[in-house]
Amino acid sequence: MDTEKKSERSPEPTQDIGKLVGDLVVSGATILAHSAAEAVVKRVNKAAANSAPVQAVAKVVKKAKKSATGVKAAAAKKAKAKAATKKAKAKKVSSKKSGSKKAATKRVASRTGKIATKKTAPKSSKKKTAKKSKR
């Protein structure tokens, strides 16, 4: 156990009432001035957004975005067409390498001794008639 005698807490020095009220008034005025300044800035921004020069700039930006979208679409279309032509060229080259159908048939015929022909069923020329309903 402690045998030493502890001193009681010394009371904190109180501020003068005049200083307390002064600080309160200053902080209230600061808050009021800040909110008033925000309101003024908001009003100025709103008015500036409706001014003619700002409207003109906004219009130009909008047109630029639209034209950029058009350019992207055109580029995509060109790329698609280019891919299609490459595919067609590749197909043409591969068909040249393997030769035509006649050449392939002749090669098969020379190996087997027979001419390879494709069998196809004749197409029917009958027209289909619709069934009548009993109603």
- Quote the pLDDT of residue 37: 95
- Quote the pLDDT of residue 1: 52
* Displacement of CA 65 from its chain's centroid (Å): 13
- Quote the pLDDT of residue 75: 82
Measure the CA–CA gap between 62 and 83, rounded to whole angstroms: 32
* Dihedral angle sign, alpha carbons of residues 63, 65, 66, 67: positive
Q: What is the pTM of this model?
A: 0.32
| pLDDT < 50 positions in the chain | none
Structural contact between residues 120 and 109, judged by C-beta atoms closer than 8 angstroms: no
Measure the CA–CA gap between 127 and 54, rounded to whole angstroms: 70
- Quote the pLDDT of residue 42: 94
3-state DSSP of the chain: CCCCCCCCCCCCCCCCHHHHHHHHHHHHHHHHHHHHHHHHHHHHHHHHHCCHHHHHHHHHHHHHHHHHHHHHHHHHHHHHHHHHHHHHHHHHHHHHHHCCHHHHHHHHHHHHCCCCCCCCCCCCCCCCCCCCCCC
Domain ranges for the chain: 17-50
